[in-house]
Amino acid sequence: MKNRKCILTLLALLGFSYALQAIDASVSYATFKSPKQNYIEVYLYISGRSVTFLQLADSTSQARLEVTILFKQEGEIVKGDKYVLSSPFVRQPADFIDLKRYGLENGAYELAVAVRDLNQPENAKEFQTEFKMDYSGEGVQQSSLQLLSSFQRSADDASPFVKNGIQIEPLPFNFYGRNAATLIFYNEVYNTDLALNDDFLASYFIERADTGSAELLMIGHKRQHAQPIVPMLIQMDISKLPSGNYYLVVEVRNRAKELLSNKRLFFQRSNPFFGEESLQLADVNIEQEFVQKLNPQQLEYSLRALTPKLPPADVELVNTMMRKRNTDGQRLYLFSFWARESPNNPEFAYQKYMEVASAIDEQFDSGFRHGFETDRGYIYLKYGQPDDIELRNTEPSAPPYEIWTYYQFPRTNQNNVKFIFYNPSLAPGDFQLLHSTAIGELSNPQWQRELYRDAPAEIQGSDYFEGADMQDNFNRNANRVFRDY
């Protein structure tokens, strides 16, 4: 990660998450105002891979850490805690978290946290930073901003992870990896009932932290009612936020738009396959991506299923890689395609698409090729499920045929787009695309002549470009269905 040493120093100075260097851990904190006593929450996130799990008699294993938390003022310890943190019983090493809450008076403090692996005592690290607890006066104030990995509603008020009916899981390291699509934060606003006694506006936005200027990237607003404590749980879509260093900023303003309070929090974002970076795969370790788990048969199947989605210029390239059995090239192309489609989670997007492709393969299987390689399977994967399907398989002088209708067709900005497939060979499932009104697809003005070739006497008109219609006959329904808007 670029500038990692500089970033960690900045985090320590600001009092945010800090990654320990031996035990892979995140120590962070947030301060809050309470009617009884103001308090600080200290969050500890432990990577299971960095500590020792001892095997137990029941085949499970457990890690045990000694944690020391000290609060100092002018070098003197004013509050301390020392305890053993035990991981859950697990079959294999897993990450685990802890949260401790301490009441403190207003003032400036030094926070020191030491963590030692009791199963490997030499594996130990310390963390130190400074912070202020300042909730004096009756003006509008805010708690620290708290980034969350997840949340859910809960009535368990006894749990330290539950606050105002919300069970939270803190985000470790203030870092969003490439699979993260949502930023979730928690913040409390205080004293608005005393200072305002009126509605107020909370604005939250993200700005760059490394450009030297406050470049605003995204913003949201939420109107709130004045109360002693106003809890805010906000979610922001960061799926299109490029890699970089950022600040989350939350401001409180009155009706006159005067700034009453603000808080900011540093975080990092890694989004390597979004935007311009999605085209630069030279630095991607493909051996660590999902495509590495696919054998040659699965690779070819996946690429064949992807054909309806490919840019026309790439079809021959993919076919060449399959003919030459270039599995490395196939893996790289498959991964790059889904990294562009879903920068945050290429594997999930691939899996969801293949679930549909497999179902289409089974539904439209003709016995000669994959179901998604038939005309109906191809159109389905390319444009999605039609809104209406009209099947006719007993009409005299016509082979079985289907008419698909898409009421809305965003791909070409059309409405009521029609596709007609027919089965002239009568082989099971061998339906071919005969005609469509979709721009860019097969357009055949003589489609009725071909569909009813066994009834030539009933064909009206012969102009190729204008097409030919069938006589309006009880047993000639294709044109009637096709034009039924």
Residue ranges in 133-228 assigned as alpha helix (H): 192-195
Shared domain for 132 and 2, answered yes or no, is yes
Q: Return the closest-CA partner of residue 149 out of 84, 71, 210, 97.
A: 97
- What is the CATH classification number for the domain harbouring 102? 2.60.40.10
Of all helices (H) and strands (E), which one includes residue 338?
A: helix 327-341
Confidence class for position 277, pLDDT limits 50, 70, 90 = very low
Give 290-312 pLDDT, tens digit per residue: 999 999 999 999 999 999 999 88
Last residue of a domain, one of 85, 107, 136: 136
Q: What is the pLDDT of residue 254?
A: 94
Assess if residue 360 is contained within a domain. no
Confidence class for position 441, pLDDT limits 50, 70, 90 = very high
Kindly report the CA angle at 67 between 64 and 70, in degrees rounded to 5?
A: 175
Q: What is the pLDDT of residue 484?
A: 64
Q: What is the pLDDT of residue 4?
A: 35
Confidence class for position 178, pLDDT limits 50, 70, 90 = confident
Q: Which range marks the domain in which residue 16 is found?
A: 1-136
Shared domain for 335 and 260, answered yes or no, is no
Taking CA atoms, 292 is separated from 162, 344, 399, in Å, by 41, 18, 45
Shared domain for 89 and 218, answered yes or no, is no
Last residue of a domain, one of 113, 136, 159: 136
148-174: average pLDDT: 87
Q: What is the pLDDT of residue 204?
A: 96
Give 192-205 pLDDT, tens digit per residue: 999 998 999 999 99
Tally of domains in the chain: 4
Q: Return the closest-CA partner of residue 269 out of 236, 297, 299.
A: 236
Give 348-371 pLDDT, tens digit per residue: 999 999 999 999 999 998 777 899
Q: What is the pLDDT of residue 410?
A: 87
145-170: average pLDDT: 88
Assess if residue 82 is contained within a domain. yes
Shared domain for 154 and 121, answered yes or no, is no
Assess if residue 219 is contained within a domain. yes
Confidence class for position 158, pLDDT limits 50, 70, 90 = confident
Assess if residue 58 is contained within a domain. yes
**Are residues 266 and 221 in contact, defined by beta-carbon separation less than 8 angstroms?**
no
247-251: average pLDDT: 96
Q: What is the pLDDT of residue 473?
A: 61
Assess if residue 375 is contained within a domain. no
Q: Return the closest-CA partner of residue 437 out of 455, 412, 461, 468.
A: 412
Shared domain for 172 and 189, answered yes or no, is yes
422-439: average pLDDT: 92
Give 55-106 pLDDT, tens digit per residue: 998 899 999 999 999 999 999 999 999 999 999 999 999 999 999 999 999 9
* Radius of gyration of the chain from its Cα atoms, rounded to whole angstroms: 31
Shared domain for 212 and 231, answered yes or no, is yes
SS3 assignment, position 433: strand
Give 17-48 pLDDT, tens digit per residue: 333 447 888 899 999 999 889 999 999 999 99
Shared domain for 6 and 127, answered yes or no, is yes
Q: Return the closest-CA partner of residue 32 out of 24, 23, 22, 42.
A: 42
Q: What is the pLDDT of residue 465?
A: 45
Residue 377 pLDDT more than 80?
A: yes
Shared domain for 61 and 149, answered yes or no, is no
Residue 227 pLDDT more than 90?
A: yes
Shared domain for 206 and 227, answered yes or no, is yes
Q: What is the pLDDT of residue 214?
A: 65
Of all helices (H) and strands (E), which one includes residue 30?
A: strand 25-32
Assess if residue 379 is contained within a domain. no
**Are residues 268 and 11 in contact, defined by beta-carbon separation less than 8 angstroms?**
no
Shared domain for 62 and 101, answered yes or no, is yes
Confidence class for position 380, pLDDT limits 50, 70, 90 = very high
Q: What is the pLDDT of residue 288?
A: 80
Tell me the C-alpha distance between 430 and 375, whole Å. 9
Assess if residue 467 is contained within a domain. yes
The percent of residues above 90 in pLDDT, for the chain, comes to 58
Shared domain for 22 and 45, answered yes or no, is yes
342-346: average pLDDT: 83
247-267: average pLDDT: 95
Kindly report the CA angle at 227 between 224 and 229, in degrees rounded to 5?
A: 100
Assess if residue 459 is contained within a domain. yes
Shared domain for 173 and 198, answered yes or no, is yes
Last residue of a domain, one of 271, 297, 331: 271
Q: What is the pLDDT of residue 110?
A: 97
Question: Which residues, 6+ apart, have CB-to-CB distance to 60 below 8 Å?
Answer: 89, 90, 91
| Average pLDDT of every residue of the chain | 86
272-282: average pLDDT: 53
Print the SS3 string covering 66-134: EEEEEEEECCEEEEEEEEEEECCCECCCCCEEEEEEEECCCEEEEEEEEEEECCCCCCEEEEEEEEEEC
Choose from 177-181, 331-335, 371-375 the range with maximum mean pLDDT: 371-375
Question: Which residues, 6+ apart, have CB-to-CB distance to 188 below 8 Å?
Answer: 32, 33, 142, 143, 229, 230, 231, 232
Query: What spatial distance separates the first Cα and last Cα of the chain, rounded to whole Å?
Result: 57
Q: Does pTM surpass 0.75?
A: no
Q: What is the pLDDT of residue 276?
A: 44
Give 457-469 pLDDT, tens digit per residue: 666 655 544 445 6
**Are residues 167 and 144 in contact, defined by beta-carbon separation less than 8 angstroms?**
no
